Every structure is written in structure tokens, then in C-alpha cells.
Amino acid sequence: ILRAVRASGQMHLNIFQLVQVNVDQFYGIEIEEFPAQIAQVALWLTDHQMNMMISEEFGQYFRRLPLTQAAKIHCGNALQMDWNDVVSVYDVDYILGNPPFVGKQNQNPDQKVDMKHVFMGIKGAGVLDYVSAWYMKALNYVRNDNSAANLLDNLPNMPEPPSEKVKIAFVSTNSITQGEQVGVLWSVLLRLGVKIHFAHRTFSWNNEARGNAAVHCVIIGFALHDSERKIIYDYPDSDGEPHALKVVNINPYLVDALDVVIMSRSKPICSIPEIVFGSMPNDGGYLLFTDDEKREFIRNEPSAAKWIRPFVGATEFINGIPRWCLWLVDIPSAELRAMPLVVNRVEAVKRTRLESTRDTTQKLADYPMLFGEIRQPSTEYILVPCHSSESRDYIPIGFMSETYICSNANLCIPSPSLYVFGCVLSKMHMAWVKYVCGRIKSDYRYTSQIVYNNFPWPNKPSDKKVAAIEEAVQGMLDARLAHPEASLADLYDPVAMPPDLRKAHQELDRAVDATYGKRKFKSDAERVAFLFELYHQYTSLLPSPKKTARRKRKSKK
């Protein structure tokens, strides 16, 4: 608040009364003592920088020397302690943080204990990354209850939160807005009343330390009350600057759409062919060959040729790398014994499996001539790589003959349907993948339970529209064949994609969009918002909740 006092007959601005923020208003928790002290000093330095800015702005020198006030940084484990012991929740306006980025698979024993402490009683919390605990801990703090499960069990009878005014924002790994973690974490947060006020979509960040790899982050600001002014900061280039988008709602996927979460499903929500993992060798590499190894092996063991089949992993499929495997399903015992080099490899598989620490793998030693898991289709199938680069506009998928053994690095749809192929390869499906799937670093991690089984397919498309998709798919496949020397990695490179193939994909996209009753979408975010609406219709007996119209501010006269 600007205040002016009359001095010597003139109005005089007193900036000491203007400045309303001081370092003693900041409280913090840091697990190590030395960084805690650094945090305190850093706030003094920041305060000094702000003082210099206000001095320059108002033309008066402003200082706080000597330093008589300081931030209150407590040394302790933020996930184990009661934050009210640091500062009462009734005295807090904002909670800000940059929690540790530790994936679920990299958590040490102490961190796993922290996760169990915070998420005690919450089903499925074992899939969550470490950063998610701060979201739950902050909600427990604001609701003045240290048990998430207790909050959920008693939610209908809970009084209004004592500090609903508190606003919270965390810098986080983008993993908590993707894949299976969304269903676990945000289903709880939404039930507790969380509304997202602003969000920075995925951007690349590093702390400039030597050898430190960039991390893909998001920033999420939320509270237990709603806001009419919601903003998404979108990064067309993850290393660039964002542009702000005013939106009606921000859901857990950081999309202007309904507050829905995609849960893991074992079956598709629509009537479509099921998708399954490929076959897993679990063989220590003894049943597999490179191209050169295969030629050498057949030269020394010619009888093995008819038992060797092409083997396709995700890398081999996308990059056109030939690979082979011993596929000994139904091999007669006498024929196997007549091939000593094959027997040697089978015995090596048996030893490898027996040396495993997993009981299930040890049991597979009884069948050393077979893959550990066999799910090979008996018909032509559609191959979908589990992992692929996010830089591509489309995940490369393809039709494969049943003679090609599909690796567990892929998913396969045992169907030769051009319609299914076209929908999975469409921009509509890719928008769903982009916002819903999990990631390995920034690369897509396509799964059946989250991506495919939850995808809202067109509702009873007409024969004419299905035929249009099939025709467009055939045109796209013909465009691929026009470049026989190129791998799928070449064809789907975002810069090197041949014009005829890109045009064929655009035609396919238009055909798929038409089956949804839409002719044009402005962006992937608009596509996925439409799909969330459709998903809600398919999975709920209730009508879609109406979006709240943004109020127009009255102009001042």
C-alpha cells in the first residue's frame, strides 16, 4: 500500500512503509545442515537485490543494515516432521518448493520409508516418484491432518480446511502428469478438493552443474479453492520460452479439459481388438543372433536353418536392423539332440535361468528351449514399439507377418485391420499418447493399460468413413513402399520425412477426424480435450459436467 506523509509542506514518499516483505516472513525445511544455512544466506542476498531494485525505481536508497532479521530455515526431513512445528498453518499464505527429483526405481531405503509414511493407506502409491510426496504432505498440512488415508475415509464428515486460502506451487518432474502416476496421485488430490490455478507444461531444466543431465520439469500451482484466472504456460520448444494461455480449467495432464484421470485397465473401453506384449526370450542372449552370427551359425549347423526365425525388437523394427532367434516351439527331441550347437545354446539358457534370483525365472529352466514368455500371434499383426522418440510426429507402427517373432519390446495387435491400423497411427491417437502416456526421459512409453485400453475410439463410424480410413492407410503404406531404401527411422524423421508420406498421413488424419464428427482441430491440446470429454462419456453413466464460463470483467468507467 502506498503511503505518503506531508513533510515541510510537500508530499513525501516513505519507501520504508511501502516495502511489506522481509526475510523473517519466510520459513523453510532442509534435510542437511549446510544447505539450510546456505538457504538463509541466499534469502538475504535476494532481499538485497530487491532492495537495490526498489531503490532504483523510487530514487531513494533502501537498505536493511545491520541484518537483524533472518529466515527461519529448519534442518530436518520434511516428509517425516509436522510442518506445524515450523510454522502454524494458520500463519501461512504460500507454500513453495523444488522437491528432490528421484524416480520410483531410484529411491533409496530411507526415501521408500518416507513414501510409505506419507502415502500410508493409499492404494498403488508404490508407482509414484519421490516428488509426489510433497504434494500429499502439503495437502495434509493445509487440511491439518497428517494421514492421507484418514482424510479420504472421513472426507464427507470433514470440516472445511482451516487454511483454504493457502496457495501451493512445486517444481516437479513431468512424470507426475503422465502415465500411471496420474491415476494414483491425482485421483487422491482431486478427491481432497485440489484445483490447479496455473501450470508450466514440460520444459527442460538443469542446474548448470558439471555433468548434470537436463531434467524435464513442470511447475504446478494449486489450492483447495478455485480460481477464475487460470493460466497454462506452454513450451513449443522445451528449451525455449513459454507463451501463456488463459483457460477455463487445468486438469492433471495440464490440459484445458475435464478433471479426469486415466486409470490402468486390463481391457479396452471400446469394442476393439486387444493388444498384448510380444514374446520375452529371458535367455541371456543365447537364443538370439545378429545377422552375421546367424550366417556363421547356419554354416556350422545347417540343420538349424529351419528353426531360425526373424526376431523384431523396437530398435530393430524402427531402424531396419535384421535380427534372428532360435524358435524351437514343437521341435522333436530327436531333432534337437541331432544339432549339438543348438543343444549348447539351450544348455546355456538353462544355466542362466537357474542362476537367477527370481523363482519364476528359475522355474523356466525346465523349458530351456523355449522363450520365457510366448505370445506370438498366429496371424498377421500390427506392431507398436513400446518406446520411441517424442521428436517424431507419429510413432512408427507396421503390419508384420506371423513368421516374424515379436519381442517384448513391442506390443502387438493380432489383427490385420486397416481401420485399426489407421486409428492407432493417426494424429488423434498421437495427441492422446502425447498427453497420457508415461515417458522414459522425454521418449514415449506406450502401454496397453494406460494408452491403448483407455483410448476413446470413434463411436459406431459409418461404413463410408471406415472405408475412407482404409483407403488412406493404403495410400500411406504405398508412400512407404516408394522409399524401399529408407528405414522407419528415416521416413519418420521430423525433418527428413518424405513429402508424399507426410501428405498421405495428413489425408489419414482428416479421415480419422471425420469419424469423430470433427473436420479440424487447432492443436493437440484441443484434440486431447475433446478426447477427455469422450472418455468421460464412455466411462461414466453421468453426463459430462458443464464447463464454467469465464466471467467477463466489467470495464471501469
pLDDT per residue over 312-358, tens digit each? 999 999 999 999 999 999 999 999 999 999 999 999 999 999 999 99
In one-letter notation, the amino acid at residue 55 is: S
pLDDT, mean over the chain:
89
Q: Kindly give the pairing relationship between strand 381-385 and strand 398-400.
A: antiparallel
Q: Which three cell numbers stand for residue 496?
A: 527428413
Q: What confidence category does residue 271 fall into, taking pLDDT thresholds of 50, 70 and 90?
A: very high
At 503-514, the pLDDT tens digits run: 999 999 999 999
- pLDDT at residue 152 in the model: 63
Mean pLDDT of 367-371: 97
pLDDT in tens, 381-435: 999 999 999 899 999 999 999 999 999 999 999 999 999 999 999 999 999 999 9
What pLDDT score does 347 carry? 97
| Residue 507, number of CB atoms within 10 A of its CB | 18
For β-strands 4-7 and 398-400, DSSP reports them as unpaired
**137, three cell numbers:** 504432505
C-alpha cell at 417: 485391420
More confident residue, 68 or 253: 253
At residue 447, does pLDDT exceed 70? yes
Provide the 10 A C-beta neighbour count for residue 283.
23
Contact present, 349 and 359 (Cβ < 8 Å): no
Q: Summarize pLDDT for 285-299 with one digit per residue, the tens.
A: 999 999 999 999 999
C-alpha–C-alpha distance, residues 173 and 100, integer Å = 9
Our measurement of the distance from residue 470's CA atom to the centroid of its chain's CA atoms, rounded to an integer in Å, reads 31
Q: Do the beta carbons of residue 431 and residue 527 sit within 8 Å?
A: yes
pLDDT in tens, 1-40: 344 444 444 555 677 777 888 999 999 999 999 999 999 9
- Per-residue confidence band for 127, with pLDDT thresholds at 50, 70 and 90: very high
**pLDDT above 90 as % of the chain:** 74
Identify the three-state secondary structure at position 176.
Answer: helix
Query: Which residues contact residue 240 at a Cβ distance below 8 angstroms, ignoring those fewer than 6 apart?
Result: none
Residue-level pLDDT at 181: 94
**pLDDT > 70: percent of the chain:** 90
- The closest of 247, 192, 242, 248 to 217, measured between CA atoms, is 242
Between CA 404 and CA 382 the distance in angstroms is 11
Of the pLDDT bands very low, low, confident and very high (cuts 50, 70, 90), residue 523 is confident
SS3 495: coil
Q: 411 phi and psi, to 5 degrees? A: -110, 150
Q: Give the separation between CA 538 and CA 557, rounded to whole angstroms.
A: 48
How many Cα atoms occupy the beta-carbon half-sphere of 85 within 13 Å? Answer: 11
Residue range 51-91, pLDDT digits in tens? 899 888 888 888 888 888 899 999 999 999 999 999 999 89
Query: Which residues pair with residue 31 across a beta bridge?
Result: none
> How many residues make up the chain in this entry?
557
Q: What does the buried/exposed string (b/e) look like for 344-355 if buried means 16 or more CB atoms within 10 Å of the residue's CB? A: ebbebbbebbee
Q: Is 485 exposed, middle or buried (0-12, 13-18, 19+ CB in 10 A)?
A: exposed
CA-wise closest residue to 408 among 367, 448, 439, 348? 448
- Phi, psi (5° rounding) for residue 120? -55, 125
Residue 477 has pLDDT above 90, yes or no: yes
Instruction: Give the Cα separation of 131 and 34 in Å (integer).
Output: 22
Quick one: pLDDT at residue 551? Answer: 45
Q: How far apart are CA 529 and CA 256, in angstroms?
A: 6
| Position 153 confidence tier, pLDDT thresholds 50, 70, 90 | low
Average pLDDT over residues 227-244: 92
| Residues 408, 57: Cα–Cα separation, whole Å | 63
* Residues 232 and 224: beta-carbon distance below 8 Å: no
The phi and psi torsions of 6 (rounded to 5 degrees) equal -85, 125
User: Which contacts of 341-346 are long-range, i.e. CB under 8 A and separated by 24 or more positions?
Assistant: 341/297, 341/300, 341/301, 341/304, 342/301, 342/304, 342/307, 345/286, 345/287, 346/286
Given this model, what pLDDT does residue 429 score?
97
Amino acid, single-letter form, for residue 205: W
pLDDT tens per residue, range 236-245: 888 889 999 9
Distance CA 428, CA 524 (A): 8
Separation of alpha carbons 130 and 515, rounded Å: 41
Tens digit of pLDDT for each residue in 170-222?
Answer: 999 999 999 999 999 999 999 989 999 999 999 988 765 555 557 889 999 99
What's residue 209's pLDDT?
54
Q: State how far the Cα of 527 lies from the Cα of 459, in Å rounded to an integer.
A: 16
